[in-house]
C-alpha cells in the first residue's frame, strides 16, 4: 500500500523546516564562546544530620560565610538556624554564588529563600498540596500485630494508630490468636509520585472466631474527628484517666485515712496527685464549668459537669486557666488550671474527684464512659459515609484505589 502524500502535510513540513532555519544560528567562534561561558546552575539536596548547621552545610558546597550571614538577615532567616535533623534543604548556586535555599521542615512545608536582582534574599513560604491515595491492606496474624503488619508493608504509625482505634475493645497482649484478621483502609500522601507521609486510617475491621468489629473514622459537623462503630457509637473513652502529669499519688481513694491537716480519720474519696507547683491541669472530659472559685478546704477549685450525670472536681489550684468562667464549655484535654496548694494542703498537689450522681467514685478504677455517639441529626450523613468506607474494606482486594468523591469530602479533614 502506498503511503499517502497529502499536499497539506507537505506544506506544513516545509513551513516547519523554514522556521527552524530562522531560529538556529551558524556555529561561529563567537557563539561557541557564549555557550562555554554560559553558567550552569548547580543543585544539591541535603538531608540534615545531627550537628549540621546552615553555615557548615552551605560552606561545604562553596558558599562564603558572608553570604550565609546575608541569608540570615531575612527576618524569617532564623528558621535556618534551627534546622532539624531528618529534614531537608535544597541548595542552588552558580559559580559559588548562592541563588536559592529551600528548607523543608516537613515534607509538606517549604521555606524558600531566593536571591533577587536587587542583590538580597527574600523569603516565601510554600505550602505543598500532596495527592492523597487510599490504600487497603489485609493483615493475618501469625504471632503479633507488629510482625504481621510489617510483613505487608505497614509502618509503625499506621500500626500504632490501629492499636489505638481498637484499644477499648481488644487487649492486644492477650486477645490476639493465630489467623485473626485485620483489614484497613488508610491514606498516603504523595508529591510527584513520591510518598511523603502516611495519613489517617479511615476504616478498620477486626475478625476473630465468630467476632467482627468495625471502626470508621468520621469528622462531625463541629470538626471533632473520631472512630465509631457502624451504628455510630464512639470507640473512644470520653474521659482521660488522669488530669495531670504527676510525680506520685500522695493520697489514694479510701474510706478511712488520717487527715494530714486535721489529724482525724476521714474518708478520702478522691485521688491526690503530687506534682510541681504550676503543673498544668487538664479537664478530663467535655463539659461545662459549674463552679469556679474559692471554697474552704478545697482552696481554688473548679467543678465541671459532664453528660451521664458526671461531675469532676479539681482542687487546691494555684491559679485558673485563662479567662475561664462559670457556664463555659470545656473540651477534654483543655488546660483549666495549675497545680497549687491553696486550701487545706501540706504541699503542691491536685485533689481530683470523679462523681456520678453526686457520689464520689474511684477515678483510677471506674469504667470510663465512651465519648458522645453520633447525634441523631448527623446520623444519615454518618451512615452514608460509613457504608461507603465499609464497601472499600470488603469489596476490593488489597491495593490502591481511587478516592471516591464522597469519601474525599470527609477524609481530607485532617485530624484535629
Ligand atoms: Zn485530696
411 band by pLDDT with thresholds 50, 70 and 90: very low
How far away, in angstroms, is 270 Cα from ligand 1 center? 6
Higher pLDDT, 10 or 269: 269
Distance in Å, CA 359 to ligand 1 centroid: 15
- Centre of ligand 1 from the C-alpha of residue 250, in Å: 8
Query: What does the pLDDT look like over 59-98, one tens digit per residue?
Result: 999 999 999 999 999 999 999 999 999 888 999 999 889 9
How many angstroms separate the alpha carbon of residue 237 from the centre of ligand 1?
25
pLDDT at residue 9 is higher than 70 = no
Contact 286, 306 (CB under 8 A): yes
**Is 180 within 8 Å of 191 (Cβ atoms)?**
no
Average pLDDT over residues 238-245: 92
Distances 90 to 96, 97, 104 between C-alpha atoms, Å: 15, 15, 8
* Pairwise CA distance, residues 405 & 412, whole Å: 11
User: Residue 259 Cα, ligand 1 centroid: separation in angstroms?
Assistant: 9
List own/partner pairs for 124-128 with CB under 8 A and 24 or more apart.
Answer: 125/76, 126/102, 128/191
How remote is the CA of residue 350 from the centroid of ligand 1, in Å? 7
Please write the tens of the pLDDT for every residue from 245-264.
Answer: 988 999 889 877 667 666 77
C-alpha angle 5-10-14 in degrees, rounded to nearest 5: 160
User: What pLDDT does 2 receive?
Assistant: 44
Q: Is 351 helix (H, G, I), strand (E, B) or coil?
A: strand
Between the CA of 272 and the centroid of ligand 1 the distance, in Å, is 5
Distance CA 413, CA 415 (A): 7
Ligand 1 (ion): residues with CB under 5 Å are: 270, 272, 351
Q: Which domains does the chain have, with CATH numbers?
A: 42-127 (3.10.450.350), 131-236+378-411 (3.10.450.350), 248-361 (2.70.70.10)
Predicted confidence at residue 210, as pLDDT, reads: 82
Amino acid at each position: 500500500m502506498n503511503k499517502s502524500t497529502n499536499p497539506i502535510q507537505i506544506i506544513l513540513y516545509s513551513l516547519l523546516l523554514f522556521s527552524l532555519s530562522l531560529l538556529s544560528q551558524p556555529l561561529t567562534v563567537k557563539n561557541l564562546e557564549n555557550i562555554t561561558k554560559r553558567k550552569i546552575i548547580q543543585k544539591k539536596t541535603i538531608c540534615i544530620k545531627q550537628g549540621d548547621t546552615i553555615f557548615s552545610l552551605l560552606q561545604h558546597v562553596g558558599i562564603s560565610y558572608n553570604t550565609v550571614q546575608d541569608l540570615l538577615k531575612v527576618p524569617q532567616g532564623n528558621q535556618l538556624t534551627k534546622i532539624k535533623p531528618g529534614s531537608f534543604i535544597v541548595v542552588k548556586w552558580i559559580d559559588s554564588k548562592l541563588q536559592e535555599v529551600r528548607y523543608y521542615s516537613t515534607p509538606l512545608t517549604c521555606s524558600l529563600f531566593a536571591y533577587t536582582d536587587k542583590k538580597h534574599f527574600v523569603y516565601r513560604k510554600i505550602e505543598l498540596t500532596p495527592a492523597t491515595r487510599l490504600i487497603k491492606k489485609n493483615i493475618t496474624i501469625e504471632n503479633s500485630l507488629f510482625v504481621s503488619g510489617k510483613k505487608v508493608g505497614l509502618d509503625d504509625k499506621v500500626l500504632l494508630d490501629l492499636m489505638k482505634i481498637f484499644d477499648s475493645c481488644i487487649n492486644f497482649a492477650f486477645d490476639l490468636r493465630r489467623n485473626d484478621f485485620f483489614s484497613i483502609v488508610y491514606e498516603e500522601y504523595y508529591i510527584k509520585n513520591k510518598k511523603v507521609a502516611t495519613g489517617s486510617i479511615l476504616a478498620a475491621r477486626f475478625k476473630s472466631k465468630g467476632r467482627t468489629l468495625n471502626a470508621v473514622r468520621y469528622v462531625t459537623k463541629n470538626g471533632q474527628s473520631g472512630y465509631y462503630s457502624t451504628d455510630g457509637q464512639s470507640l473512644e473513652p470520653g474521659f482521660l484517666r488522669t488530669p495531670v502529669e504527676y510525680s506520685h499519688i500522695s493520697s489514694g481513694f479510701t474510706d478511712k485515712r488520717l487527715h494530714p491537716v486535721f489529724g482525724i480519720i476521714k474518708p478520702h474519696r478522691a485521688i491526690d496527685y503530687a506534682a510541681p507547683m504550676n503543673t498544668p491541669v487538664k479537664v478530663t472530659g467535655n463539659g461545662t464549668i459549674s463552679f469556679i472559685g474559692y471554697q474552704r478546704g478545697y482552696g481554688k477549685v473548679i467543678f465541671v459537669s459532664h453528660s451521664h450525670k458526671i461531675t469532676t472536681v479539681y482542687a487546691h489550684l494555684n491559679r485558673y486557666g485563662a479567662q475561664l468562667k462559670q457556664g463555659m464549655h470545656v473540651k477534654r484535654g483543655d488546660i483549666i488550671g495549675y497545680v497549687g496548694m491553696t486550701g487545706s494542703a501540706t504541699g503542691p498537689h491536685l485533689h481530683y474527684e470523679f462523681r456520678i450522681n453526686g457520689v464520689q467514685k474511684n477515678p483510677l478504677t471506674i469504667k470510663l464512659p465512651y465519648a458522645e455517639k453520633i447525634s441523631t441529626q448527623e446520623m444519615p450523613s454518618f451512615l452514608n459515609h460509613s457504608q461507603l468506607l465499609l464497601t472499600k474494606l470488603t469489596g476490593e482486594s488489597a491495593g490502591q484505589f481511587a478516592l471516591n468523591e464522597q469519601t474525599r469530602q470527609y477524609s481530607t479533614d485532617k485530624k484535629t
